[in-house]
Amino acid sequence: MFIHTSIRTRNPEKSIGFYTKHLGMQVMSRRDIPQNDAEAIFLQDPERRGATLELTYYRKQENFLQPDYDDRLFDHLAFEVKDMDATIAAMREEGITITDEPFRLGLGGSILAFVEDPDGTLIELIQRG
């Protein structure tokens, strides 16, 4: 059973702000990993639906490299949102990078958009059609 996905953060409070304010996640636990000089933060939907996201903060990590889009191995994380327009407007107000403006998948289909989290991880937003 696929239980969580782990990504890195260079600033835990900023990442927690992004995932809780814009994507409705809640911090379920956070724990220090002293042997790695790191901290792990687990977030999920408050009603415990959907997947768990682990944010790992290595306090000494300096580089956060992402290969060019064409050459990547990891692609994106996908989140369902209730109101795409309101989500995008709130993100734009904070200067969050919108890589693909909202578009509809076929007639009456879902509305999709792509943005980047504070560290450049690609995020797909989906409003069900």
Q: Specify the 3-state DSSP secondary structure of 101.
A: strand
CB-based contact 19:118 (threshold 8 Å): no
Which residues, numbered 28-57, are part of the site for its own copies (CB under 8 A)? 43-45, 49-54, 56
List Cα–Cα distances, 57 to 21, 77, 107, 112, 127, in angstroms. 19, 18, 42, 29, 30
119 is a contact residue toward its own copies (CB under 8 A): yes
> Least distance to its own copies from the beta carbon of 11, Å?
13
Residues forming the active site: 124
107 is a contact residue toward its own copies (CB under 8 A): no
Q: Which stretch binds its own copies (CB under 8 A): 60-68, 84-92, 95-103, 107-115?
A: 60-68
4 is a contact residue toward its own copies (CB under 8 A): yes
Q: Specify the 3-state DSSP secondary structure of 51.
A: coil
Report the residue from 16, 25, 41, 91 that binds its own copies according to the rule CB under 8 A. Answer: 25
103 is a contact residue toward its own copies (CB under 8 A): no
Q: How many whole angstroms from its chain centre is CA 60?
A: 22
Burial of 65 (0-12, 13-18, 19+ CB in 10 A): exposed
Which positions touch its own copies (CB under 8 A)? 1-8, 23-25, 43-45, 49-54, 56, 61-68, 70-80, 119-121, 124, 126
